[in-house]
Amino acid sequence: MACQTIETPIGILTAEIDRGRITRLGVFPAGESDPKADELVLADRLRDELDAYFHGERRTFSLPLSLSGTAFQRKVWEEIKKIPFGETCSYGEIARRIGHPGASRAVGSACRANPVLVLVPCHRVTAADTPGGYVLGGAAKAFLLTLEARRGG
């Protein structure tokens, strides 16, 4: 397993890579790392794709992910990945799309549990009348939404 830290405009993120897939990307202490060559290559790809995203040169990511979570969480994350760059969707709308109307709070919980921030763009999920929360805080969410809006979402 490899742990790498990556400096971004929203802070230093830690990536965890295991068996050729990104398993976590967020703010957490980097664990012990014994990286294999393919994991280092993937860490470089991640760094390059994030850099391109933050410079407005990339709207989607092509990195292999391995996401651990409940069946409900994985369903929410798959739906979130469908939200186009520069657009937002409410917690309630995500709940309706996955066949669980009225589960907007559970969608919010799934967003908080998202193991790969930015790559699964939970920052694009908002409350009905406010931006809603974000695990990295409101300023980071506002930055990401503004970045995408400026890039012509």
Tell me the pLDDT band of 95, cut-offs 50, 70 and 90. Answer: very high
Please say whether the beta carbons of 111 and 26 come within 8 A. Answer: no
88: DSSP letter = -
Enter the tokens of residue 102.
Answer: 């009225």
pLDDT of residue 99: 97
| Over residues 12-35, mean pLDDT | 85
Q: Please tell me the distance from the alpha carbon of residue 73 to that of residue 122, in angstroms, as a whole number.
A: 12
Domains with residue ranges and CATH for the chain: 2-54 (no CATH), 71-150 (1.10.10.10)
Supply the pTM of this predicted model: 0.91
Torsional class of 102: left (φ above 0), alpha (ψ -120 to 50), beta (otherwise): left
Active site residues: 122
